[in-house]
Amino acid sequence: MEGRSSFARYVWFFTAINVAIIILLGAINAIFAIDAGSGPAIAAFFVSTAAPAQAFVKDHHRLPTQAERKRLVRWCFVAYLGLTAVWLSLLLILLMAQPGPLLPEQALPESVGMGSIILILLISLAFGLLLAYGLLVLGIKIFSKQAVKALEKQGVIERQENETTESPEKS
């Protein structure tokens, strides 16, 4: 099994691609005033998930073992939590910089209190993070298998029968 430091490269790769794509999407949205909904953000998440999975396969010429896949998913999710905290902090700073109240009184019915709004936001955040974790698990598994198939097709590696065995070769 590889040392912990070897996974740092893949996590930084995931983080850098995620940040770059989100900034690019934000710039496109700001320049062209296009509101494409959440579709591009989901595509960006999958691209940033594919990158470390494919890089792992390219470096090791094999699928990650189950333990390696779990560790890669776990550390990418920790990075994603950090990114989420940064994005939410930036959003809050931008909202607080706006003149006037954060939520105009006429925007809320009298029966809905601030506690209800906070609860809805926290439930939405929790659901979104659970969804992100599931997509990370699925994405890393699928994209690493696709990368192995591509390397097999190119003749770089031989066809693998058992995906949980570790190869003695290192690149």
Domain range for 57: 5-97+113-154
C-alpha angle with apex 40: 73 to 18, nearest 5 degrees? 40
Give the pLDDT of residue 111. Answer: 67
Model pLDDT for residues 22-40, shown as the tens digit of each residue: 888 888 888 887 776 667 7
Q: Which residues fall within 8 angstroms of residue 44, CB to CB, at 6 or more apart?
A: 18, 21, 22, 25
Is 106 a domain residue?
no
CA 53 to the chain's CA centroid? 12
Is 169 a domain residue?
no
For the chain, the average pLDDT equals 82
Split into its structural domains, the chain has a count of 1
Model pLDDT for residues 59-86, shown as the tens digit of each residue: 998 999 999 999 999 999 999 999 989 9
